[in-house]
């Protein structure tokens, strides 16, 4: 019988993390966009927008870097399963 592959879908690919972003507070410093492909600057108002709200382990580090680099700390990241706030 054909083996079910969903279980094997590596943990690395699962979208385990979710962004919390306070766009109001963004000052358009663009530090986030400089370090992560998930962050882009809106041509409309110069504030940052993310492309994917949820992401996997593989994209965690660059999003963490974006959050760390933000001078006004408006980017936060949570684990979806436990709700633990990573930054």
Phi, psi of 9, deg, nearest 5 = -55, 110
Sole binder of ligand SF4 in the list 30, 40, 60, 64 (CB under 6 A): 30
Answer positive or negative: Cα dihedral of 32, 36, 38, 42: positive
Shortest reach from residue 18's CB to ligand SF4, in Å: 16
Phi, psi of 57, deg, nearest 5 = -50, -40
> What span, in angstroms and rounded, lies between the C-alpha atoms of 78 and 56?
12
Sole binder of ligand SF4 in the list 37, 72, 79, 85 (CB under 6 A): 72
Per rule CB under 6 A, is residue 20 in the interface with ligand SF4?
no
Per rule CB under 6 A, is residue 19 in the interface with ligand SF4?
no
Q: Site residues (CB under 6 A) for ligand SF4?
A: 26-32, 47-48, 69-70, 72, 74-75
């Amino acid at each position: 019988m054909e083996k079910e592959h969903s279980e094997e879908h590596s943990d690395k690919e699962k979208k385990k993390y979710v962004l919390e972003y306070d766009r109001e507070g963004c000052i358009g410093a663009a530090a986030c966009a400089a370090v992560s492909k998930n962050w882009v600057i809106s041509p409309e108002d110069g504030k940052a927008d993310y492309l994917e709200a949820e992401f996997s382990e593989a994209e965690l580090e660059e999003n963490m870097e974006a959050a760390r680099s933000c001078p006004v700390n408006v980017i936060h990241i949570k684990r979806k399963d436990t709700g633990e706030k990573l930054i």
